[in-house]
C-alpha cells in the first residue's frame, strides 16, 4: 500500500471508532483508514478494547492477556484484513460519497486555479474535495477550529513537511500555513473543517463568504 508518513492521531481514530466524530471528519478518517494499514490495525485495537469493556461492565476483571493482544494489534502482529483495492484515485468510502471516482466530481472554480467540491456540510463541519494545480499554492491561512486534510493524489508541502497520497495533516488554531502543491501533478485533497479558515490576504477574505471556506 501507500508509504504513508503522516498518520491520523489516536484521539481522532478513537472518536471514529466510538462514532463520536462529526460526519465530515468521519468521512476523512474512514478514507484514510482504507489507505493505511497502520491506522486500520490501530482502529481494530481500539474497537477490541471497547468491545472488551462492554462485555465486562458487570465484572471487576478482564482477561489477563487483553493488553498484550491490544499491543500486538497496534504493532501489526495481528493485522486487519485489507480492504478491496480498486483502480482509480478514490477509496471506497469516498467513492460511495461522490458516486464514482475522480471523473465524477463536479468541481467549482474558487480562484488561483484551485477548484473545490463540497461533499457534505452541516452545523458540525464541512467536507470538501480540493484540487490544487501543480506548483500552485493555497492562500496563507490560520484556523478558527480544526482542519483535517487527507491527500488523495499528488502531494503538497507546507511548514510541517511534504504530504503525499494517504498522508493526513491536522491543523488547529495554533497553526498558520500556506500549502503548495508539489510540481508534476495536481494535488487532490479531502478536507474537513469545523469552522471557517482565517485568511491573511484581503482578496481571499472578500471571497470567503461566497466560497464557504
CB 130 within 8 A of CB 109: no
pLDDT tens-digit map of 10-56: 999 999 999 999 999 999 999 999 999 999 999 999 888 765 544 55
Cα separation, 202 vs 174, in Å, equals 21
Q: Which domain holds residue 137?
A: 92-211
What's the CATH code of the domain at 173? Answer: 2.60.120.10
More confident residue, 64 or 11: 11
- Reduced to 3 states (helix: H, G, I; strand: E, B; else coil), residue 106 is coil
- Tally of structural domains, the chain: 2
Across 99-103, average pLDDT: 95
Predicted pLDDT of residue 42: 93
Is 84 inside a domain boundary? no
Is 83 inside a domain boundary? no
Cα separation, 182 vs 142, in Å, equals 21
Is 187 inside a domain boundary? yes
Is 86 inside a domain boundary? no
CB 175 within 8 A of CB 163: no
Same domain, 69 and 113: no
- Reduced to 3 states (helix: H, G, I; strand: E, B; else coil), residue 152 is strand
Same domain, 184 and 112: yes
Same domain, 182 and 128: yes
Predicted pLDDT of residue 80: 46
pLDDT tens-digit map of 111-157: 778 999 999 999 999 999 999 999 998 877 788 899 999 999 999 99
Q: Percentage of the chain surpassing pLDDT 70?
A: 74
In this structure, what are the phi and psi dihedrals at residue 190, rounded to the nearest 5 degrees? Answer: -105, 120
What's the CATH code of the domain at 22? Answer: 1.10.10.1320
Describe the chain by its helix, strand, coil percentages, rounded to 5: 35, 25, 40
Amino acid at each position: 500500500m501507500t508509504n504513508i508518513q503522516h498518520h491520523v492521531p489516536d484521539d481522532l481514530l478513537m472518536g471514529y471508532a466510538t462514532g463520536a466524530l462529526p460526519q465530515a471528519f468521519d468521512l476523512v478518517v474512514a478514507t484514510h483508514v482504507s489507505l493505511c494499514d497502520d491506522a486500520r490495525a490501530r482502529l481494530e485495537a481500539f474497537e477490541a478494547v471497547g468491545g472488551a469493556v462492554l462485555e465486562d461492565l458487570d465484572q471487576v476483571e478482564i482477561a489477563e492477556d487483553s493488553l498484550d493482544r491490544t499491543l500486538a494489534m497496534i504493532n501489526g502482529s495481528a493485522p486487519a484484513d485489507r480492504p478491496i483495492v480498486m483502480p482509480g484515485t478514490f477509496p471506497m468510502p469516498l467513492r460511495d460519497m461522490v458516486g464514482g471516482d475522480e471523473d465524477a466530481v463536479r468541481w467549482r472554480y474558487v480562484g488561483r486555479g484551485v477548484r473545490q467540491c463540497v461533499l457534505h456540510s452541516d452545523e458540525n463541519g464541512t467536507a470538501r474535495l480540493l484540487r490544487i494545480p501543480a506548483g500552485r499554492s493555497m492562500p496563507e491561512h490560520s484556523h478558527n477550529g480544526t482542519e483535517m486534510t487527507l491527500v488523495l493524489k499528488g502531494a503538497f508541502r507546507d511548514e510541517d513537511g511534504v504530504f503525499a497520497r494517504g498522508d493526513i495533516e491536522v491543523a488547529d488554531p495554533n497553526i498558520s500555513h500556506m500549502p503548495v502543491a508539489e510540481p508534476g501533478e495536481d494535488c487532490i485533497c479531502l478536507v474537513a473543517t469545523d469552522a471557517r479558515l482565517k485568511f491573511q490576504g484581503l482578496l481571499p477574505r472578500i471571497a470567503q463568504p461566497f466560497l464557504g471556506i
